[in-house]
Structure 1
């Protein structure tokens, strides 16, 4: 599915570009299961720019076009990083993943994080690995709470 015209895409200041082993398979995951849309693509270069709300990613197929590798690339890709993506609701993504029998890395949970001396923000979240092992943490707000004491 194709999204907005390129002229209407407000690019954020940081857009990660993920090197993937199979662009078609990655698009099935990111767009087909997780709700992203293709803003634009360059098939001859194995490239797609995808968006979901304010989350923007570039996907580039390994071995097609120009890849910038600083070392050996071994699966799982992206070790040591996870991409947090805020969404309005987790349920549609969870349902699509479960319908496809896609395994979750971390089951849905509510987690509270301290952001000030007496304040925490809560998120409902889960983690899933994309086809190349990049960890994605989808989250939605669970509110704010004050800490007593």
Structure 2
């Protein structure tokens, strides 16, 4: 049996493919069954996506964290908060960790001019204690949150 072909991307995602005997013709319908004795292609893909954490302007954002991480932290038991589209100033008196269930926000940290961090549904976000910013909620937000 051949060794799997490993493909790696800069973001840390990996995929492997194991190709068996035979060939595949793009003109052959994907749902057509191979006849006994005819060449066939067996392709097995294994994809492991690692969540990437970025930090910009002091805000840490992890896009689409693994459900196991959310469960381990008890995120779904944290209190919820939401608001409709609006714009308002906010200062973090404590470190806040949150997980956005829905919505989209541009966060403008004070002293950073027009620079902002955009967060959206599926993001796991950490705001540092003492940060002053303006929240520009462009789509209604619903999130779980925890203050330390």
Compute the TM-score of the two structures, normalised by the length of structure 1.
0.22
Q: Which has the higher contact order (CA 8 A, sep 6+)?
A: 2
Structure 1 or 2: more helix by fraction: 1
**Higher radius of gyration, 1 or 2:** 2
